[in-house]
Amino acid sequence: MNNKKSKWKLGLIVVLIFIIGYLAGIGTLISLWYFKFSPLSYMGDPARIMSRLTKTLNLNQEQKETVEQIVQRTRKDLLHLRDEVKPKIRKRLERARYEIAAILNEEQKSKFNQFVEKRLARFKKMQERMQKWRETP
């Protein structure tokens, strides 16, 4: 009976870790898409996107001014949305960590905390690289 409980707990832990990894992966993909692959990915450099749009679409001066206003407004809106969503994501991931830790024994908690710390350190490094990339002219 105890063996069945252990297997069940181990299975649950694996599923929960998978879910956290999945959520972290989604967050990473969204970040990469937003910062690197989005058609409006040059939000850190509106001049760059304006240059590309002007050349690609052969915009006249009136169109260029209107598109520039749209790009600036969209950039502001997206930055606001990102700032609004980030705390909610962090809070939910933190709650998942507490829920997982609650079902672990002391040895598992120690390993889990190490796992989480490594993930957070990698995420922080990625954020720093992305910030440098955004600041690069």
Contact 122, 46 (CB under 8 A): no
- Quick: pLDDT tens for 73-114: 888 887 788 788 888 888 888 888 888 889 989 998 899 889
Residue 42 — very low, low, confident or very high, per pLDDT cuts 50/70/90? very low
Tokens of 81: 């949305």
The mean of the pLDDT values for the chain is: 80
What pLDDT shows up at residue 51?
Answer: 84
Question: Given a cut of 50, is residue 62 above it in pLDDT?
Answer: yes
Model confidence at 60, pLDDT cuts 50, 70, 90, reads very high
Looking at the chain, the whole-number percentage of residues with pLDDT higher than 90 is: 8
Q: Let me know: does 12 contact 102? Beta carbons within 8 Å.
A: no
Q: What Å distances lie between residue 15 and 38, 69, 130, CA to CA?
A: 31, 46, 30
Cα–Cα distance, 89 to 80 (Å, whole number):
15
Number of domains in the chain: 1
State the residue range of the domain holding 77. 2-135
